[in-house]
């Protein structure tokens, strides 16, 4: 994902909520959004890996964004969703509190994160998008996984 | 059309041909007089030449060409095969293999010329006979003569009209008949190149057989086109002749008079046939012709055997679908309520089982595909080591799932090299031990129930148990007393430990410390077992046991705490209920006594970190699943048994690959996921 170029091209962002904050990911990366389903825990993995789910015959690992962002976990409810990402050979599900909308965002609405912080541990954030006065943190899913690859 | 689509075919067929060549050369080495073998080798070399030429790999073509010269001289008796010639031919083979590998890696043949080999071949030719130039003639058997004189293609009124107009406007109307080499393998590719030339310089009005048929290789060895062009006949003659494997090009300039002629030909055809319109008659004739060519193509296919090449990925898709079907069947099994549904489910079960078997069979590959490279390897190894080694193979037809086949090559190479290098003695040693000079290695494969067994046995010196024992102490793996008390079998097992090599001399072939441990790891990763039996002075035998398939297995579903896990049935020996007080502590390890055997206990709930596990104190009885790892047993403590199921093994995906204790996942009837425990890593 290119986070440097300031352009006017419109991109579609899937906006979802974890805790009080709103996050967004490029819709290109999203394969499908599922309701909560049975998750089988996988031993010897970090706590934020909830386990694996069966998505129509395919086994897909699911990570809990709350735990990933050091927030307390919470009981899944009707709004809980698993966003399934597909990047090349890797598939990954992400548990979020709710998916609110798909928002069209212009390049100019997105502020690069490097101007806000230099914290290396935040490099999974590609930028902050402005949306009708709200702020949406845009995530780089690949970075969240590379992180994971090291952690596992 | 694009050349790339032929690349896979080229690579695959080249490999096949090279393998054949390899086998034939080995045969030739054994019996230099075998004329039949020589013809076979020649044919394969010729095919390779044709194929590489077609693909435009000129260096490869050049090498095969020179090679063919020598083979032809051998075949016709101008040269006599000897060790030197066979050696050079083997070098050629290696060079060709390199070319093919290069093609796979980079899409082109690279720039290596192998001038040394070519000059060696040329030297052989000159030494053997002065007539080097024979080959070109044999390479292109005289096809030109067979081309019969032919008139103009039958044309319909519309064609005649178009051509007539073209002639009027001063264009050339040409009928071009192209004959390809009989041995041409990628006829479609060739004709594609020719059509490119034609399309660049002219407009094609008619083709016989039809263009689509030509693209599908539905023609014998020649095709005819009628084109309209500004270029003179000689231009096409030259251009098309420059394409490789074209044996003959006939260009006829069609004149207005000739057009009148064809129309009358057509008319007479109608006259003979009753009242059909001209176009239809022409069409019918065309159809009849293409049907005839189609027939010959079919006939050829029949001869080459009734096989279809299928992309492995497609088979995997099919396999996945069948797996899905089995899962959903299991689910139906759980919900079946009334009799009618129950009956249907039972019927469905029979079908899915047969379907599963059928798909598995499709995925089965004979071990021959792995075995066939070993004779050559042993030959080379024997040469390097200056030993006489004979490899006896049996059971090559035994079939294994292709996922297993892909993986067993390397371990087998390792074991075979070990046998040749460390197992078999030198010539002198063998003689003084009263053995025949030639050492023997047996490679056997056979099916044993749901397993395939592969054995590598040699009649060499076997494992020096005393030496291994000494080494165990030296390496500090066991105390002197412990080492002395180990049984022979236990001592031999140490050979599979990482970095344990008993050979003092490190050779190029083996003995660098990376050895049997790698073999063991690999085989175990495949769900198999490896054992070594040895008798000092008489030889040793490595036995590899592999599961027939990795995709669908029988498993025991167990409950541990709140979670469900699957244990492959193949590794379960028995299930016992014991009292918690039966567990004793030996050297800080929980064990139980079962029929006088001490069996270590594995607490799955602790290792897997399961929540909600029932503590021993609350249970009157513990359920222990006794599993087998090699010939050792371990007891897995579980909270409950759910039952035996046919499960489909799924990988946890790239992200979670290599997770400890877990071999994979499977989908249960209710759609939930259960993990499959990795018995080999969990067992003690």
Q: Which of B655, B660, B682 best probes binding to A when mutated, by most A CB atoms within 10 angstroms? A: B655
Does A57 sit within 8 Å of B667, measured CB to CB? yes
Separation between Cα atoms, residue B297 and residue A58, nearest integer Å: 42
Comparing CB atoms, the residue among A45, A60, A90 nearest residue B659 is A45
Co-location of B412 and B520 in the same domain: yes
Give the distance from residue A149's alpha carbon to the nearest chain B alpha carbon, in angstroms: 7
Highest mean pLDDT among B106-110, B251-255, B273-277, B633-637: B633-637
Separation between Cα atoms, residue B223 and residue B208, nearest integer Å: 6
Residue of B nearest to A149 (CA): B655
Per-residue confidence (pLDDT) for residue B306, from 0 to 100: 65
Supply the pTM of this predicted model: 0.50
Residue B528 lies in a domain: yes
Co-location of B60 and B173 in the same domain: no
Residues B327-341, mean pLDDT to the nearest whole number: 76
Q: Residue B566's pLDDT band (boundaries 50, 70, 90)?
A: very high
Q: Residue B2's pLDDT band (boundaries 50, 70, 90)?
A: low
Comparing CB atoms, the residue among B563, B651, B654 nearest residue A41 is B563
Q: Does B607 touch chain A (CB under 8 A)?
A: yes
Residue B287 lies in a domain: no
Does B323 sit within 8 Å of A43, measured CB to CB? no
Where do the domains of chain A lie, and which CATH numbers do they carry? 10-151 (2.40.50.180)
Q: Given B259, B275, B291, which residue is the final one in a domain?
A: B275
Q: What DSSP string runs through B477-505?
A: SS-HHHHHHS-HHHHHHGGGSTT----SS
Higher pLDDT, B34 or B424: B424
Does B654 sit within 8 Å of A89, measured CB to CB? yes
| CATH (domain of B149) | 3.30.70.1110
Separation between Cα atoms, residue B43 and residue B66, nearest integer Å: 14
Per-residue confidence (pLDDT) for residue B477, from 0 to 100: 77
Does A53 sit within 8 Å of B659, measured CB to CB? no
Say what angle helices B4-30 and B83-106 make with each other, to 10 degrees.
160
Does B667 sit within 8 Å of A45, measured CB to CB? no
pLDDT tens, residue by residue, A28-54: 889 999 999 889 999 988 888 999 998
Residues of chain B found within 8 Å of residue A43, distances taken between Cβ atoms: 607-610, 659-662, 675
Separation between Cα atoms, residue B126 and residue A48, nearest integer Å: 74
Residue numbers of the domain that contains B643: 552-682
Comparing CB atoms, the residue among A40, A89, A145 nearest residue B673 is A40
- Checking if the pLDDT of B31 tops 70, the result is yes
Does A58 sit within 8 Å of B324, measured CB to CB? no
Q: Is B261 helix (H, G, I), strand (E, B) or coil?
A: helix
Residue of A nearest to B611 (CA): A41
| CATH (domain of B593) | 2.40.50.180
Residue of A nearest to B610 (CA): A43
Residue of B nearest to A53 (CA): B673
CA separation, residue B333 to residues A56, B81, B559 (Å): 19, 67, 20
Q: Residue A150's pLDDT band (boundaries 50, 70, 90)?
A: very low
Co-location of B120 and B47 in the same domain: yes
Count the residues in chain A.
Answer: 152
Co-location of B270 and B150 in the same domain: yes
Co-location of B376 and B358 in the same domain: no
Residues A64-70, mean pLDDT to the nearest whole number: 88
Does A58 sit within 8 Å of B673, measured CB to CB? no
Residues of chain A found within 8 Å of residue B653, distances taken between Cβ atoms: 52, 59-61, 90-91
| CATH (domain of B113) | 1.20.120.160
Q: Does B328 touch chain A (CB under 8 A)?
A: no
Per-residue confidence (pLDDT) for residue A8, from 0 to 100: 64
Separation between Cα atoms, residue B375 and residue B389, nearest integer Å: 10
Report the complex ipTM.
0.84
Does A51 sit within 8 Å of B673, measured CB to CB? yes
Extended beta strands in B353-511, E state: 364-366, 389-394, 399-401, 439-448, 451-458
- Is the Cβ–Cβ distance between A84 and A31 less than 8 Å? yes
Comparing CB atoms, the residue among A37, A38, A90 nearest residue B655 is A90
Residues of chain A found within 8 Å of residue B656, distances taken between Cβ atoms: 42, 45, 49, 52, 61, 152
Residues of chain B found within 8 Å of residue A92, distances taken between Cβ atoms: 655
- Count of domains for chain B: 5
Give the distance from residue A59's alpha carbon to the nearest chain B alpha carbon, in angstroms: 6
Residue of A143, A130, A137 whose CA lies nearest to A20: A137
Cβ burial, residue B109 (10 Å; 0-12/13-18/19+)? buried
Q: How many C-beta neighbours within 10 Å does residue B175 have?
A: 22
Residue B300 lies in a domain: no
Comparing CB atoms, the residue among A38, A39, A61 nearest residue B655 is A61
Does A45 sit within 8 Å of B655, measured CB to CB? no
Does A54 sit within 8 Å of B673, measured CB to CB? yes
- Checking if the pLDDT of B190 tops 60, the result is yes
Per-residue confidence (pLDDT) for residue B225, from 0 to 100: 84
Residue B108 lies in a domain: yes
Residues of chain B found within 8 Å of residue A61, distances taken between Cβ atoms: 652-653, 655-656
Does A57 sit within 8 Å of B655, measured CB to CB? no
Per-residue confidence (pLDDT) for residue A120, from 0 to 100: 60
Tell me what percent of the residues of chain B surpass a pLDDT of 70. 85
Separation between Cα atoms, residue B352 and residue A120, nearest integer Å: 53
Co-location of B589 and B531 in the same domain: no
Residues B36-49, mean pLDDT to the nearest whole number: 80
- Is the Cβ–Cβ distance between B123 and B132 less than 8 Å? no
Does B654 sit within 8 Å of A59, measured CB to CB? no
Co-location of B17 and B123 in the same domain: yes
Residues of chain B found within 8 Å of residue A152, distances taken between Cβ atoms: 655-656, 658-659
Separation between Cα atoms, residue B29 and residue B600, nearest integer Å: 55
Q: Does B656 touch chain A (CB under 8 A)?
A: yes
Q: Given B84, B108, B139, which residue is the final one in a domain?
A: B139
- Checking if the pLDDT of B146 tops 80, the result is no
Residue B573 lies in a domain: yes
- Choice among A86-90, B113-117, B209-213, B315-319 with the minimum mean pLDDT: B209-213
Residues B537-564, mean pLDDT to the nearest whole number: 85
Residue B286 lies in a domain: no
- Is the Cβ–Cβ distance between B78 and B48 less than 8 Å? no
Co-location of B520 and B385 in the same domain: yes
pLDDT tens, residue by residue, B485-510: 888 888 888 888 766 655 544 444 44
Residue B600 lies in a domain: yes
- Checking if the pLDDT of A56 tops 70, the result is yes
Q: Does B314 touch chain A (CB under 8 A)?
A: no
Q: Which of B316, B328, B653, B681 best probes binding to A when mutated, by most A CB atoms within 10 angstroms? A: B653
Q: Does B105 touch chain A (CB under 8 A)?
A: no
CA separation, residue B93 to residues A19, B22, B397, B648 (Å): 66, 7, 25, 42
Residue B296 lies in a domain: no
| CATH (domain of B400) | 3.30.565.10
Co-location of B651 and B619 in the same domain: yes
Co-location of B162 and B246 in the same domain: yes
pLDDT tens, residue by residue, B664-682: 898 887 778 999 998 888 8
Co-location of B194 and B246 in the same domain: yes
The helices-and-strands tally (H runs, E runs) of chain A is 2, 11
Per-residue confidence (pLDDT) for residue A116, from 0 to 100: 59
Q: H-type helices in B495-552, by residue range? A: 516-525
Q: Given B516, B547, B578, which residue is the final one in a domain?
A: B547
- Checking if the pLDDT of B514 tops 50, the result is no
- Checking if the pLDDT of B626 tops 90, the result is yes
- Is the Cβ–Cβ distance between A13 and A129 less than 8 Å? yes
Q: Sign of dihedral through CA atoms A93, A94, A95, A99?
A: negative
- Catalytic residue positions of B? 46, 68, 418
Comparing CB atoms, the residue among B655, B658, B662 nearest residue A92 is B655
Co-location of B575 and B543 in the same domain: no
Q: Does B671 touch chain A (CB under 8 A)?
A: yes
pLDDT tens, residue by residue, B354-396: 887 788 778 788 888 888 888 888 888 888 888 888 899 999 8
Does B672 sit within 8 Å of A57, measured CB to CB? no
């Amino acid at each position: 994902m290119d986070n440097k170029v300031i352009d006017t091209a419109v991109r579609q962002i899937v906006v979802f909520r974890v805790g009080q904050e709103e996050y967004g990911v490029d819709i290109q990366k999203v394969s499908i959004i599922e309701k909560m389903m049975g998750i089988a825990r996988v031993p010897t993995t970090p706590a934020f890996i909830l386990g694996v789910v069966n998505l129509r015959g395919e086994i897909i690992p699911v990570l809990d964004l709350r735990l990933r962002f050091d927030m307390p976990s919470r009981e899944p409810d009707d709004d809980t969703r698993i966003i399934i990402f597909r990047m090349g050979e890797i598939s990954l599900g992400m548990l979020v509190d709710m998916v609110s909308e798909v928002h069209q965002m212009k390049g100019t609405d997105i502020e690069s994160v490097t101007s806000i912080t230099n914290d290396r541990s935040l490099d999974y954030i590609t930028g902050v998008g402005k949306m009708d006065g709200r702020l949406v943190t845009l995530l780089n899913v690949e970075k969240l996984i590379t992180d994971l690859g090291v952690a596992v | 059309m694009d050349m790339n689509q032929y690349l896979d075919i080229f690579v695959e067929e080249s490999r096949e041909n090279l393998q054949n060549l390899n086998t034939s050369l080995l045969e030739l080495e054994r019996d230099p007089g075998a004329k039949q073998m020589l013809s076979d080798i020649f044919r394969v070399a010729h095919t390779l030449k044709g194929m590489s030429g077609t693909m435009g790999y000129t260096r490869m073509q050049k090498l095969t060409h020179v090679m063919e010269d020598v083979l032809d001289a051998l075949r016709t008796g101008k040269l006599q095969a000897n060790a030197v010639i066979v050696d050079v031919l083997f070098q050629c083979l290696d060079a060709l293999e390199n070319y093919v590998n290069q093609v796979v890696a980079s899409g082109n043949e690279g720039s290596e010329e192998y001038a040394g080999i070519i000059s060696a071949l040329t030297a052989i030719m000159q030494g053997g006979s002065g007539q080097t130039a024979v080959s070109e003639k044999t390479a292109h058997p005289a096809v030109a003569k067979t081309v019969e004189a032919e008139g103009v293609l039958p044309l319909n009124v519309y064609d005649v009209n178009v051509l007539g107009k073209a002639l009027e406007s001063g264009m050339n109307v040409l009928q071009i008949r192209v004959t390809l080499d009989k041995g041409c393998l990628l006829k479609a590719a060739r004709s594609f190149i020719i059509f490119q030339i034609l399309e660049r310089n002219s407009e094609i009005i008619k083709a016989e057989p039809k263009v689509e048929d030509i693209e599908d290789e539905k023609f014998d060895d020649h095709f005819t086109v009628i084109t309209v062009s500004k270029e003179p006949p000689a231009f096409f003659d030259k251009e098309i002749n420059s394409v490789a494997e074209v044996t003959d090009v006939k260009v006829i300039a069609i004149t207005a008079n000739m057009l009148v002629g064809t129309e009358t030909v057509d008319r007479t055809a109608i006259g003979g046939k009753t009242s059909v319109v001209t176009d239809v008659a022409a069409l019918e004739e065309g159809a009849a012709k293409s049907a005839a060519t189609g027939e010959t193509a079919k006939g050829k296919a029949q001869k080459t055997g009734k096989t279809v090449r299928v992309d492995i990925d497609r088979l995997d898709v099919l396999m996945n679908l069948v797996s899905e079907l089995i899962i959903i069947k299991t689910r139906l099994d759980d919900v079946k309520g009334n009799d009618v549904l129950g009956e249907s489910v039972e019927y469905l079960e029979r079908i899915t089982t047969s379907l599963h078997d059928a798909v598995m069979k499709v995925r089965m590959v004979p071990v021959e595909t792995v075995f066939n490279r070993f004779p050559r390897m042993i030959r080379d190894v024997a040469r390097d080591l200056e030993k006489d080694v004979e490899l006896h193979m049996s059971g090559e037809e035994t079939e294994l799932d292709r996922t297993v086949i892909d993986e067993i090559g390397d371990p087998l190479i390792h074991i075979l090299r070990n046998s040749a290098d460390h197992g078999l003695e030198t010539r002198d040693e063998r003689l003084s031990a009263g053995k025949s000079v030639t050492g023997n290695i047996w490679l056997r494969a056979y099916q044993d129930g749901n397993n395939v067994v592969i054995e590598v046995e040699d009649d060499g010196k076997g494992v020096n148990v005393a030496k291994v024992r000494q080494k165990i102490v030296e390496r500090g793996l066991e105390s002197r007393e412990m080492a002395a008390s180990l049984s022979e079998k236990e001592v031999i097992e140490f050979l599979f430990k990482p970095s344990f090599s008993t050979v003092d001399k490190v050779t190029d072939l083996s003995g660098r410390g990376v050895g049997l441990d790698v073999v063991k790891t690999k085989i175990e990763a495949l769900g198999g077992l490896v054992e070594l039996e040895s008798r000092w002075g008489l030889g040793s035998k490595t036995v590899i046991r592999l599961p027939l398939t990795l995709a669908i297995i029988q498993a025991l579903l167990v409950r541990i705490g709140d979670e469900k896990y699957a244990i492959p049935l193949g590794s379960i020996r028995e299930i016992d209920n014991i009292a918690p007080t039966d567990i004793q502590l030996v050297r800080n390890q929980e064990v139980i006594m079962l029929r006088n055997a001490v069996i270590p206990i594995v607490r799955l709930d602790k290792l897997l970190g399961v929540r909600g596990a029932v503590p021993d104190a609350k249970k009157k009885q513990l359920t222990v699943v006794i599993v087998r790892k090699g010939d050792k047993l371990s007891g897995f403590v579980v909270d409950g048994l759910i039952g035996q199921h046919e499960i489909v093994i799924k990988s946890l995906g790239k992200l979670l690959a290599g997770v400890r204790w877990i071999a994979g996942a499977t989908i249960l009837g209710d759609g939930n996921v259960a993990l499959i425990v990795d018995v080999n890593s969990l067992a003690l």
